[in-house]
């Protein structure tokens, strides 16, 4: 097999300084009865990083995780873990450990025996196991519950047991499949911080699957955004937020306005819905690596609203909808003389009176606040 198809990211450079990537996935394909779940996925996960696989439900995240852990074998492509080819290695011989979506704790064992399970298989001495389990239970804050059965624990506590059990075997890579999805919001936010702390403390590479972009943004060192079995973009949270390469990524990560261009950018000018605006410098240069962009992404919070705006792109508009968000207000406005809609998110100062529906206002944005999209 050659490596990836056109959707593959240009991330295939060899690892730097001789440290192998924790995981190297090359051109992995997987179909279930003809339905393609992974369509040529290539990803490098740097050693020691908190790496997220982000995408809508059904895009192949779990399948990719199961390929890494060895529960699914790819139809094509290769997988290296810590520099060694593991494409055909059975799950019990891989240096990975998984935190399952519903945790999969052994119901007939207490917390201590659950955590010790992997160590016992390794014929570790009794004293060592005891010490190590104590250490892990302390790490996840469950010292007092070691004698309980999983069924006697809350969701958050079971989650911690699953984490401790997986970390016990000191995996090179910890795989987490939406481990927080079944927790309620408050607990989820708390566990996000907790997971991040634990990852820093143990220094293990985490590959974290989520469909929640906020979760991915707050926790990750790097994110791979997936759609329909393909990787759309890989980068740091900031890169992915600030420089999305496709409309899908722009829209999936945070809220954004899509500006479709009537015709290619010429002389630094662009037309949207019949009106001309200054184009971002990148788009003027011909887009990023492909022939001219057809659409732009403009984040809600980069759209400005007011009577006196000093930005280069300004237009008159009418307010069509007002939504309060506590700390901010969102206006949906329609530009005069064309059908283009924009949403602006404006921080609240607490003294202003919000514009009512129907109010005539001016909106504007800095040309470089808009991001040229490749597709």
Ligand X SMILES: Nc1ncnc2c1ncn2[C@@H]1O[C@H](COP(=O)(O)OP(=O)(O)O)[C@@H](O)[C@H]1O
Residues that bind ligand X (CB under 6 A): 32, 35, 37, 55, 57-63
Polymer length of the chain = 375
How far apart CA 313 and CA 320 sit, in angstroms, is: 20
Binding residue for Mg ion, selected from 42, 49, 62, 199, defined by CB under 5 A: 62
Selection from ligand X, Mg ion, another protein, none that 73 binds (CB < 5 to 8 A by kind) is none
- Applying CB under 8 A, the span of 33-41, 161-169, 208-216, 343-351 interacting with another protein comes to 161-169
Q: Which is nearer to Mg ion, 62 or 192 (CB)?
A: 62
Query: With binding defined as CB under 8 A, does residue 192 bind another protein?
Result: no
Residue 172 or 304 having the CB closest to another protein = 172
Helix axes 185-202, 126-139, angle to 10 degrees: 130
**Shortest Å distance, C-beta 65 to ligand X:** 8
- Which pairing describes strands 84-85 and 230-235: parallel, antiparallel, or unpaired? unpaired
Nearer to ligand X, 32 or 106 (CB): 32
Interaction between residue 147 and another protein (CB under 8 A): no
| Piece of the chain touching another protein by CB under 8 A; list 43-51, 86-94, 130-138, 350-358 | 86-94
User: Largest alpha-carbon pair distance within the chain?
Assistant: 78
Given the DSSP bridges, would you call strands 84-85 and 35-45 parallel, antiparallel or unpaired? Answer: unpaired
Candidate residues 55, 74, 118, 280; the one interacting with another protein per rule CB under 8 A: 118
DSSP 243-270: S-SSHHHHHHSS-EEEEE-SS--BTTEE
Alpha carbon distance 210, 62 (integer Å)? 9
Tell me the C-alpha to C-alpha distance, in Å, between residue 192 and each of 122, 156, 215, 240.
30, 11, 7, 20
Binding site for Mg ion (CB under 5 A): 62
Binding site for another protein (CB under 8 A): 69-71, 90-93, 96-98, 100-102, 104-108, 117-118, 121-122, 151-152, 154-155, 165-166, 168-169
């Amino acid at each position: 097999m050659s490596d990836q198809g056109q959707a593959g990211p240009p991330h295939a450079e060899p690892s730097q300084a001789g440290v192998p990537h924790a995981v190297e996935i090359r051109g992995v394909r997987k179909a279930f009865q003809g339905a393609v779940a992974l369509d040529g996925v290539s990803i490098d996960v740097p050693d020691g990083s908190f790496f997220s696989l982000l995408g809508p439900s059904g895009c192949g995240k779990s399948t990719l995780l199961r390929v890494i852990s060895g529960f699914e074998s790819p139809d094509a492509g290769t997988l290296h873990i810590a520099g060694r080819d593991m494409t055909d290695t059975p799950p019990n011989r891989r240096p990975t450990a998984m935190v399952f979506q519903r945790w999969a704790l052994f119901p007939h064992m207490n917390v201590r025996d659950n955590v010790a399970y992997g160590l016992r298989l390794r014929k570790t001495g009794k004293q060592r196991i005891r010490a190590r389990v104590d250490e892990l239970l302390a790490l996840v804050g469950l010292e007092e519950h070691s004698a309980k059965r999983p069924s006697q624990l809350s969701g958050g506590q079971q989650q911690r047991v699953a984490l401790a059990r997986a970390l016990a075997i000191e995996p090179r890579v910890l795989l987490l499949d939406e481990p927080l999805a079944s927790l309620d919001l408050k607990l989820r936010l708390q566990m996000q911080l907790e997971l991040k702390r634990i990852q820093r403390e143990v220094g293990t590479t985490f590959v974290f699957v989520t469909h929640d972009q906020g979760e991915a943004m707050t926790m990750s060192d790097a994110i791979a955004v997936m759609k329909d079995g393909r990787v759309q973009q890989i980068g740091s949270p900031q890169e992915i937020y600030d420089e999305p390469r496709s409309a899908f990524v722009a829209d999936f990560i945070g809220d954004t306005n899509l500006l479709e261009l009537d015709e290619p950018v010429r002389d630094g000018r662009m037309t949207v819905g019949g009106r001309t605006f200054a184009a971002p410098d990148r788009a003027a240069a011909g887009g990023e690596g492909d022939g001219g962009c057809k659409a732009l992404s403009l984040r809600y919070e980069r759209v400005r609203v007011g009577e006196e705006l000093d930005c280069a792109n300004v237009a008159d508009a009418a307010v069509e909808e007002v939504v309060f968000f506590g700390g901010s207000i969102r206006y949906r406005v329609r530009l005069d003389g064309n059908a283009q809609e924009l949403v602006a998110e404006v921080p609240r100062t607490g003294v202003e009176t919000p514009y009512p529906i129907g109010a005539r206002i001016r909106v504007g944005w800095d040309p470089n606040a808009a991001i040229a999209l490749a597709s």
